[in-house]
Amino acid sequence: MKHIYNETKKGAPVFVLLHGTGGTEHDLLPLAGMLNPEYNVLSIRGNVSENGMNRYFKRHGEGQYDLEDLEFRGGELHDFITEASEEHGFNPEDVVLVGFSNGANIAINLMLRESAKYKKAILFAPLYPMTLQDSKDLADAEVFLSLGKGDPIVPEDESVRVVGIFEDRGADVTTTWVHGHSLPQEAAEKAKEWLNG
């Protein structure tokens, strides 16, 4: 998978950056530097193309996921992160998943994978509409969620559903509400406080 790996400090936590639809592996690098400049960075480009736009998994329409592809691509991404951890010598448990929109959605899939050990995520404008059958215990996980009021893509009840996905599995969840389907400075600042507090 196309990616960037930047090592700032050996042994530091690693941001895994996951862009939104149509983005690239460069999009969230400034955000990572703002959240904590001492963290290492693995930024990954989605390898699904939708009308020339990069995504992490296929969909049939807005909010209508190709569930089979989501599961396959989530496994593929998890394997890639695992391989990168071996190549660059970091512990997958030290990963902080940082995703916006489509990137946040695949990050939820990663967090819910039974074989995965991701414990921390910062997710902006996530949407995960399907009923999940798994019962993974996330009691040792911490999640920061930035959700949108008046989001044209994610209805408010769907944002609340995402909160429930994590709370129902015992995760420590912190939320902030912004306007629309966005990643504003105010949300990034709150995520920074949460991460480093």
Contact between residue 155 and residue 183 where contact means Cβ atoms under 8 Å apart: no
Annotated catalytic residue within 85, 101, 146, 159: 101
CA–CA distance, 14 with 96 (Å, rounded to integer): 6
Report which DSSP code applies to 37. T
Annotated catalytic residue within 3, 94, 172, 181: 181
Whether 140 is a known active-site residue: answer no
Annotated catalytic residue within 43, 78, 85, 151: 151
Output the CA–CA distances (angstroms, integers) from residue 164 to 54, 98, 131, 145, in the order listed: 28, 19, 11, 11
Contact between residue 177 and residue 149 where contact means Cβ atoms under 8 Å apart: yes
CA–CA distance, 50 with 63 (Å, rounded to integer): 14
Whether 179 is a known active-site residue: answer no
Whether 69 is a known active-site residue: answer no
Residues 6+ apart with CB under 8 A from 52: none
Half-sphere exposure at residue 58, Cβ-oriented, CA atoms within 13 angstroms? 6
Return the C-alpha torsion angle 194, 114, 81, 22, nearest 10.
-70
Residues 6+ apart with CB under 8 A from 168: none
Catalytic residues: 101, 151, 181
